[in-house]
Amino acid sequence: MKRTLCSRHQGRSLAGAVALALSLAAIPFTSVSAQTPAKAPGTGKPWVAPRTPEGTPDFQGNWSNETQTPLERMGKGGMNLTNEQAAALEKRAQDVEEFRDRPTEPGETATKDNGLTELASVPGEPTFVERIAQAAGGAVGGYNGFWLDPGNKVIRIDGVPRSSIIIDPADGRIPQLTAAGKQRMGERMAMTKKFGEFDGPEIRSLSDRCLTSFGSNAGPPMLPNYFYNNNYTIVQTKDHVMIMTEMVHDARIIRLGAAKHVPAQVRPWFGDSIGHWEGDTLVVETTGINPIQLAQSGGLGPYRGASEKLKVTERFTRTGPDVLNYKFTVEDPDTYTAPYSGELPFNRINEQIHEYACSEGNYALPGILAGARAEEEEKAKQKK
C-alpha cells in the first residue's frame, strides 16, 4: 500500500470534480446497522477493547478511512450493494491501480487525449473515484498514478457492502437546502463572481493554500478525500483526545468532560469539540466551525455553505482489534431541511505517518497565479 509523504498540488481547481460528483446521481445501485463487536482471536469470546490507565477504551494509534464508497449514494438504489457489485467495483479499482503503476514504455509520449483514454483497455466500468480524479485534472491532467492512493475497498458494516457513507436520509444523500440556505448560497456565489478564479491566493481553495486538506479529511465530520493520505493518528490523555490528520497535518483537540463550548465569537478551524463517554463510545459534539470553512460549497464536502448554527455529533466505538467504527450526524436547521447521518470504519494501519509538508512544498500556488498573469499579459498584447 502506497503512503505518499508530501503534497503535489495540481494547478486545476476541484470545480470539475464537484460538478461530476453532483452529476453521478444517475448511476444505479441495488437495493450498516451498528457494527457487531468482533470475537477475541482463538477464544470465541466477545472481543474487549483495550483500556487506557483511566479505564476508557483505548483508541490510540494510526488509522485510515480510505475507501471507494462515495459520500452520497449514486442512483436510486438501497443502502447496500450486492456482493457481486462490490467485487466488480473493487476489482476495477485494483486493475486501474496496477495499470497506472506499470512501467512507462520506451518512447511513450503524453498527448492531450491519452489522459482520457489511457484506461480504456482496463475492463469494467469507471469507478466514482476514477471520475473524480479525472475531472480534477481536466484536459491538462492532474496527478499521475504514483501519487493516488484512495483505497481499493468499499465500506463494509457487519460484512455487508455499503453504497454510500450517508445512511440517513434513506436516499443516502445530503438533504435539500432550506429557503435561507439557498439564499445564503446564492449570495456567496454572487460574491465569488466578483473576482476572477486566479485573481489572488485568497480566491483559491483552502487546500490550494495549504490551510486544510482536500474535502473534509479533518472534518468534522472526518471523511475520505478520494485522492490520498486519508490517515490519522489518535492520542489520548485523561482530559483530551487529539486526532491528527495526515493531510496538512491538522490537529483536532477534543476536550473531555467540558460543560460548555467556547464563546460564540471564537470560531477556530474545525470548530470547538467537547466529548464525553457513553459506555465504550466516545461522543463528540462540535460547534463554532470557522466561517471560511463553512463557506466551502464543493460537492465532495459536507457543508454546502452551512450557517454558523451547524452542529456535528460524532460517535467513535472500537469494534475489533483493527476497526474503529465512526458515526456522525450533521444538523443545521438554517441550511438543511433535515439532519443527515453517516457511518464508516477507520481501519488500523501499522505504518508510521510522516509530516505532510504542504506549506513548505506547495510550489503550485505561485505557478497557478503566475500562469494566470502570463495569460492576461498575452491577451493584452493581442488587443494592441
pLDDT score for 22: 42
Q: CA-to-CA distance for 203 and 123, rounded, in angstroms?
A: 40
Q: Are 57 and 50 in contact (CB under 8 A)?
A: yes
pLDDT score for 18: 41
pLDDT score for 3: 40
The alpha-helical segments, DSSP class H, found in 55-164 are 83-100, 114-117, 128-137
Summary count for the chain: helices (H), strands (E): 8, 12
pLDDT score for 16: 40
pLDDT score for 37: 65
Q: Are 331 and 311 in contact (CB under 8 A)?
A: yes
Closest by alpha carbon to 54, among 297, 295, 240, 269? 240
Name the region of 24 (left: φ>0; alpha: ψ -120 to 50; beta: rest): alpha
Burial 207-245 (b: 16+ CB within 10 A, else e): bbbbbbbbbbbbbbbbbbbbbbbbbbbbebeeeebebbb
Q: CA-to-CA distance for 333 and 348, rounded, in angstroms?
A: 35
Q: 334 vs 14, 90, 122, 290, 377, CA distance in Å?
A: 26, 39, 45, 17, 44
Residue 242 has phi, psi (to 5 degrees) of -110, 130
pLDDT score for 139: 60
Q: Are 340 and 169 in contact (CB under 8 A)?
A: yes
pTM above 0.75, yes or no: yes
Instruction: Provide DSSP, 329-384.
Output: EEE-TTTBSS-EEEEEEEEE--SPPPP--HHHH-THHHHHHHHHHHHHHHHHHHH-
Closest by alpha carbon to 25, among 126, 217, 173, 245? 173
- Say how many C-beta atoms besides its own lie within 10 A of residue 167's C-beta: 20
pLDDT score for 34: 45
Residue 241 has phi, psi (to 5 degrees) of -125, 130
Q: 49 vs 54, 138, 247, 318, 322, CA distance in Å?
A: 13, 46, 28, 6, 10
Q: Which residues of the chain have pLDDT under 50?
A: 1-34
Closest by alpha carbon to 150, among 91, 65, 23, 215? 65
pLDDT score for 118: 65
Domains of the chain, residue spans: 15-32+50-103+112-349
pLDDT score for 124: 82
pLDDT score for 8: 34
Residues 6+ apart with CB under 8 A from 290: 267, 268, 269, 270, 271
Closest by alpha carbon to 210, among 65, 7, 4, 14? 7
The alpha-helical segments, DSSP class H, found in 109-165 are 114-117, 128-137
Strand-pair category, 340-348 with 61-64: antiparallel
Grid coordinates given for 219: 472534518
